[in-house]
Amino acid sequence: MEQTNKFEKVIVYDVKVMTCETCVNAVEKAVLKVPGVKEAKANLPSQQLRIVVDEMFDEKVMVKNVKLVGYTILKQTKKQSLKETQLTILKNLKYKLIISIIVLVPLLYISMGHMIDMPIPDIINPNNNALNFVLAQLILTIPIIVLSYKVYVEGFKVFFRGKPSVDTLVSAGVLVAFLYGIFGLVMIGDNDLSYVDKLYFIIAGVTLVLYQVSKYLEQKTNVKKADELERLMKLRPEAGILYKDGKYIETPIDELKEKNQLLIWPGEVIITDGIIVKGETSVDESMLTGEVSPIHKKVSDKVIGGTVNLSETIIIKVTSTGEDTILADVIKRKREEFIKRAPIRKLADKFSGVFFYVALVLALLSFAYWLVCESDLKIAIDVFAYVLIVSCPCALSLVMPVVNIVSSSIANKNKLLIFSDGVLEASSKVTLVAFDKTEILTVGNPVVVDVIPVSVVSTYLIIQIAASLEQKSSHSIAHSLLKEAKENKLKLLELHSYNNYAGYGIEGILEGRKYYFGNKKLMKENNINIGQTSMITNEYGDEGKTPLYLATEKEIIGIISVKDKIKEEARIVVNRLHEKGIKTVILSGDDERTVNYIKEKTGINKAYGALLPEDKQKLIKNFKENDVVLMAGDGIKDANALKEADVGVGFSKGTNNLMSASDVTIMNDDLFGVLKLIAISRKTVLNVKQNILLSFLYNVIGIPFAVGIIYLFGGPLLTPLIAVIIMVLSIISILINVLRLKFYTSDK
């Protein structure tokens, strides 16, 4: 129990048992209704509730409120790690599954053995002891029913909230099969032996075992996620070697600041995000990026905290610390994965919700027809039960976790780190892709091409002033200017009063004089006339160069043009998107002529230049009125545009803010990753839809038998044998279809 202030305290409880984000919301809402509760946060992976309360808090009222919504809370006793908690849940599921399978085997033998002339002991032989035959199946089914209680809790909970799901259909079908079996027992006790061949205990048993298998597979995934999360958390060292004034000082990680220089020995974990300022080495980034092969890093290359320096000693300059690092952001995203239900599961739940009402109405109509029109109460009861039994999507509950596992494996294999809920579904519907220019369509390594003095100054002075203004910037243009100054052995001037205007440029004071360095908009904002220089800069734009103006408070003193190489794969990616029927646009802060040059070279449909960050966000919002938009961006200026898009795609070399804003991070910075994401999403969602249709196709095949249409024309009503055949065919065909995904390889 931790204290917050004189009147408030924090209490942590264990919750029994939350299984989804709906559970989390229900618990939190119930607790927040209790007087004295200031804050309530339920955590799905740890199965815990953390509350902040004041002196008005009444624990008994809280316990009662939580029980009313279907959960139990207990004072926390033993603190477990996240992985230990998940392993405990997995262990319990394993025991339940083993017991259920042990019970299912004799149930299967007793219920189906006599149909294929297998020897059945006389004491439970349906021909000699029909009552014992039914009782044996009932007794064997009860443990499976009890061990699988969560499916009814979840299924009927969402039903009463008006959102029936796969669990609702499963629980309805299972309970009807079980209750109909009890009805059959009563009828056999009343000497109606026809019910010997109308028992569906085996359907209930097999369906629930499949449900338990699905939960076991889902939990295995949770254990893996927990293990990955804890391993990531352990990657953060406690201290590092601070390199300062030629001295090495061991410094706690919490005391590090941006621009500190750190010494990293071979074999050591890189303590935080930074840029190499001295040395070259190979880095193992497999824990974060999935890239097995070591990555060669040299001066000016970025390194990620938590990765391992393999070969040589390097010195890095810290670019971010603490919660602002890429590792911290990945850990945060991994935590969020636990409380989000997979979108492909939501798709199945949505379809199942509709089918549940259809099945219920069909069952009631069939009951009414046989009762009123045919005056046969027994058949009316039979068909009512049969429709709900045959409507149970027994295979669907099993294949959903399998699809999740397979699709996640494919995404990881293709270096796609997916964070946000609904990404796969949204990505499969993308109709427009918006690209930023720098470091997305271009390599992000611009070079200085032209330096033109406008007043009486030398080209060297122009470079010196521009590089001095850019020395605090991490932009790729800053790197090119600093490199140019270094190659010309120009000393940087001391920079004062530095201001970076996103989408415009830089303002700073050098040696007591104010300078501006940026695009036309920056000049216009500060009332600086560009005059006849536009004739020169227009030509630059037509050649793919980006013109930048250097000015004092009164006039332009020079022009610098930089040019960035277009990525070789850019045109290929754009062409492939067009082949898929997807439109493309460029959104860039660069001069419109420069952006149009990139448009022509890559084949992109439309180009928008001279944009501020808010302009990009506004355009994305407009695009969304008619299209599903994917935004591929890099740099802090793209964060809001990425959040605005239906799917925001960032790259691992981008800023940490970008990774936080994006739904997907392409961990190997490959532009082909955009194609892979769309292809994998389409394939996965198509596979899910096929599985849903296959599942309900077999249900539909059984419905004419269930409602009695076949019976009216001299055929049979639904029988356990027909139901089992439908179930087996459904399971086999759907599993084969799911496993096809495993062999899918996304092309470039």
* Domains in the chain: boundaries: 2-79, 88-226+341-406+686-742, 239-324, 416-442+566-669, 447-563
SS (H, E, C) 576-624: HHHHCCCEEEEECCCCHHHHHHHHHHHCCCEEECCCCHHHHHHHHHHHC
For domain 239-324, the question of CATH label 1.20.1260.10 is answered with no
* pLDDT at residue number 657: 41
CA gap 677, 385 in Å, rounded: 44
Do residues 551 and 531 touch, judged by C-beta distance below 8 A? no
Give the pLDDT confidence score for residue 630 in this predicted structure.
94
List per-block mean pLDDT (blocks of 10 residues) for the chain, which spans 748 residues.
Answer: 55 74 77 86 72 84 84 68 78 93 93 82 88 94 92 82 82 91 90 88 90 85 74 68 74 76 78 82 67 69 77 80 66 60 66 84 92 87 89 72 75 75 80 89 83 85 90 78 88 83 82 89 86 75 81 88 86 93 90 85 90 86 93 72 86 51 76 90 85 81 87 84 82 82 66
Distances (CA, A) of 145 to 17, 426, 598: 18, 37, 64
Q: What is the pLDDT of residues 402-437, one digit of tens each?
A: 777 777 778 777 778 776 556 878 888 999 999 988
Phi and psi at 587, nearest 5°, equal: -120, 115
Three-class SS state of 285: coil
C-alpha separations of 383 from 4, 69, 176, 297, 716 in Å? 62, 34, 11, 70, 12
- What amino acid occupies position 633? G
* Cα 38 from Cα 52, distance rounded (Å): 5
- Span 2-79 CATH architecture: 2-Layer Sandwich (3.30)
The residues, any chain, with a CB within 8 Å of residue 291's CB and separated by 6 or more, are: 285, 415, 667, 668
> How many Å separate Cα 561 from the centre of its chain?
41
What pLDDT is attached to residue 656? 43
Closest CA to 340 of 698, 23, 635: 23
Question: In the CATH hierarchy, which top-level class contains the domain 416-442+566-669?
Answer: alpha beta
Q: Is the dihedral of CA 75, 79, 82, 84 positive or negative?
A: negative
Name the residue among 523, 493, 490 with its Cα closest to residue 506.
523
Does the pTM of the predicted model rise above 0.85? no
276's CB contacts (< 8 A; 6+ apart) are 297, 298, 299, 300, 301, 303, 314, 315, 316
**CATH architecture type of domain 447-563:** 3-Layer(aba) Sandwich (3.40)
